[in-house]
Structure 1
Amino acid sequence: MGTLATQLIAALVYLSNYTFNHRRVQKYNAHKLKIMIDSPEEMIAIDKKGGTIHFVDPDTFVIRSTLSDFPPVPHELTISPDRKEAYVPIYGPGIYGSNPNPGHLIAVIDLVARQHRGYIDINPYRGPHTMKFGPDGLLYSCAEASGVVVIIDIRSREVIGAIDARSVGCHRLVITPDGTRLFTENEDADPWASVIDLKKREFSLRLPTPNGAAGIDLSPGGELLVISDGKVPDLVVFDAIECTQITRISLSGHQCPAQIVRFSPDGKWLIVTNMDGNVATIIENPPYGRQHLVPTGKSPMDMAFHPNGQTVVIGNQGDGTLSVIDLPSKQESERPKVGVGVEALGFF
């Protein structure tokens, strides 16, 4: 019995030590994972006004390196799901509504080497702008001047299809998480947003936007579609599954129509920038929650949410600054100078 008791005690001590050490390892690994998630290597910033692309320290916002060998002008940005490449459309020398020589190239950026690796040519289509990856791994890009959404295989760097959006204003797009639908906002070219059936790769229907549109986004779960009104400072909210309008939301403190709308990846926040008003609105528990108005630099445009879930960084293309906003306090924490006029940015 004594031997059995000794063995039992030894076993209990082993199990206790194993449990303690296992939990300690789990805690360490979780902490290490949190550090990895909360500390991106770098930030990529598309300097539309400067015609360049910057790699920026994500903590100090100091420019580490710059790529400048691009035709006019880099707009917008999307990062591959594996975070190894970025794709930047060469929109043309103009802006929406005044781009007489629209481009047909998409720059491929190697995020590991921080190098420009050539172009994807979408010819004969023109005016590439917003791009998104679908769950099928294909890249979908607005070709605004041609009124289509092009489908790109990034492995071959070739256009493998094009879908008629029925509007030469198709400026920005979003894709549902299940990959069944794609929506484009068509600015002031047409009084509707286009709904595209991605399974059939064809135009499906129109969502009324009688005042035009300036921005578009989907909630992370794909249930809600939010479009910024083109004439008044309102957000138009649609049921993205039924494709029906739910409500309109007025933006407090905005004196003119807003621009970009972005849900945070966790769905806790909706950020709305106002390019002409030099402000951004933070909406808690979107889209119906409390609104917080935050002054920004000149002409705020697109943004990137820090992986820590606590910070959003907005590019102010009118004065070459970034507005770094702390989401819990709903305050701008700093406004560093980065480039000439950054429009879009992302962490990787």
Structure 2
Amino acid sequence: MFISCHQGASTVTALDDEFELIARVKTPSQPHVCAFDTKRELIYATITYRDGWYNEHGDHGEEIVVVDPATWTITRVVDISPYAGPHDLSVQGDELHVVCESHGGCLLTLNLDTFEPAGHIPIGVPGPHWLAATSAKAYTGNKERAFVSVLDLVERRPLKRIPTRTGSEDLELNADGSILYAADRDEPLLFVIDTETDTEIRAVTLPGNPHNVHALDDGLVVVSHFRQWDYDRPQDGSISVTDPESGQIVAREIPVGAAPLGIASDADHVYVNAGTTMSVVDRKTWQVETVVDVDAGAHELILLGR
């Protein structure tokens, strides 16, 4: 099952394995990122802005929407104010960690039994946006600051800053959490970071500036290349695939739709949400096999049951 947030349509949708629509849930404007809680079997979606996108938006959102996939209904809209601008999020046990643009940039923690705030960790940057987390540590990509932030989730405090060349975009941990992959904002670089020492191992040169990052189960990493967004003349983006161990590019600039913002995978395919489409890419040939029409403004994509 494919679960997507759609910023443009203000929906959370579900597609089955044949790419047929199962459900379309209307949400407040505008959902950006969603996560699945395996313990409670619920979907959480962040309402980041009332309209627009990071560089050009209206008021910040102040909600997290809770969707029950058993009934495809919204069971709760959690008001997180005075926190605002929630974006990426991570479920860790009975806690939900959410990157927020308010409070000078912070990581908010909610108790998932009550949805009450359990406090926040200051990040101290204007645009914290992306998140990767374990039960003990969290990492945030900060867009406008040339570092990845390392946060202690046990003692709830900032730990360290890992330098990047310009800003920092999306980031993701490998399967065992030993390596963090982080995208530079304005240079074509993917940083490979040792999470035991929280230091850079190497920087992989990419075909273009990276935006979103997705680690595959075989050790390869998929990055999206996001062209400048223009509603009147959207430019198609692409994905590239790299072997971060060797630094080699396995597949270069595979074309997908405009604004590729969500990436998921299974054993055979990589799936990319971009604009109004989801591209299905064969992992053997690295060719686009199918293009599926989806709701407008496709953002986060998560894959369940595979």
Both structures adopt the same fold (TM-score exceeding 0.5): yes
Amino acid at match of 1:67: V
For residues 302 and 113 of structure 1, the distance between their equivalents in structure 2, rounded to whole angstroms, comes to 24
What is the aligned counterpart of 2:15 among 44, 50, 56? 56
The Cα shift of 1:57 comes to 2.1
Q: Is the 8 A contact 1:143 1:149 kept in 2?
A: yes
Amino acid at match of 1:149: L
The Cα shift of 1:130 comes to 0.3
The Cα shift of 1:110 comes to 0.2
Counterpart of 2:222 in structure 1 is 271
Q: Secondary structure at the match of 1:77?
A: strand
Amino acid at match of 1:196: L
Q: Is the 8 A contact 1:173 1:182 kept in 2?
A: yes
For residues 302 and 337 of structure 1, the distance between their equivalents in structure 2, rounded to whole angstroms, comes to 14
Q: Does 1:133 align with 2:133?
A: no
What is the aligned counterpart of 1:344 among 286, 300, 306? 300
For residues 133 and 222 of structure 1, the distance between their equivalents in structure 2, rounded to whole angstroms, comes to 15
What is the aligned counterpart of 1:106 among 64, 76, 85? 64
For residues 286 and 270 of structure 1, the distance between their equivalents in structure 2, rounded to whole angstroms, comes to 10
RMSD of aligned alpha carbons: 1.8
For residues 116 and 101 of structure 2, the distance between their equivalents in structure 1, rounded to whole angstroms, comes to 18
Amino acid at match of 2:281: I
What is the aligned counterpart of 2:265 among 305, 310, 315? 305
Aligned pairs (5 A) from 1:1-348: 42-59=1-18, 61-68=19-26, 70-82=27-39, 84-92=41-49, 93-134=51-92, 136-146=93-103, 147-176=105-134, 179-188=135-144, 190-252=145-207, 254=208, 257-264=209-216, 266-276=217-227, 278-284=237-243, 288-293=247-252, 294-306=254-266, 309-317=267-275, 320-348=276-304
Q: Secondary structure at the match of 2:296?
A: coil
Q: Mind listing any 5+ residue stretches in structure 1 that lack a counterpart?
A: 1-41
Q: Is the 8 A contact 1:267 1:285 kept in 2?
A: no
Amino acid at match of 1:305: S
Q: Is the 8 A contact 1:172 1:215 kept in 2?
A: yes
Change in CA separation of 1:200 and 1:132 when aligned onto 2, cut-off 3 Å: same
Amino acid at match of 1:51: S
Change in CA separation of 1:227 and 1:150 when aligned onto 2, cut-off 3 Å: same
Change in CA separation of 1:311 and 1:83 when aligned onto 2, cut-off 3 Å: farther
Q: Secondary structure at the match of 2:125?
A: coil
The Cα shift of 1:118 comes to 1.7
> Larger strand proportion, structure 1 or 2?
2
TM-score by length of 2: 0.90
Amino acid at match of 2:264: A
Q: Deviations over 1:192-242 (max 9, x none)?
A: 211101111111111112311121111111222211111111112222211
Q: Is the 8 A contact 1:297 1:335 kept in 2?
A: no
Q: Secondary structure at the match of 1:91?
A: strand
Greater C-alpha radius of gyration: 1
Q: Deviations over 1:292-321 (max 9, x none)?
A: 021112221112223xx222211012xx11
The Cα shift of 1:329 comes to 2.2
Amino acid at match of 2:200: Q
For residues 287 and 78 of structure 1, the distance between their equivalents in structure 2, rounded to whole angstroms, comes to 31
Change in CA separation of 1:290 and 1:227 when aligned onto 2, cut-off 3 Å: same
Amino acid at match of 1:262: H
- Give the number of aligned pairs: 293
For residues 166 and 287 of structure 1, the distance between their equivalents in structure 2, rounded to whole angstroms, comes to 34
For residues 304 and 297 of structure 1, the distance between their equivalents in structure 2, rounded to whole angstroms, comes to 15
Q: Mind listing any 5+ residue stretches in structure 2 that lack a counterpart?
A: 228-235
Q: Percent identity?
A: 24
Change in CA separation of 1:217 and 1:286 when aligned onto 2, cut-off 3 Å: farther
> Larger helix proportion, structure 1 or 2?
1
Q: Is the 8 A contact 2:224 2:260 kept in 1?
A: yes
For residues 186 and 152 of structure 1, the distance between their equivalents in structure 2, rounded to whole angstroms, comes to 21
Amino acid at match of 2:83: Y
For residues 289 and 40 of structure 2, the distance between their equivalents in structure 1, rounded to whole angstroms, comes to 27
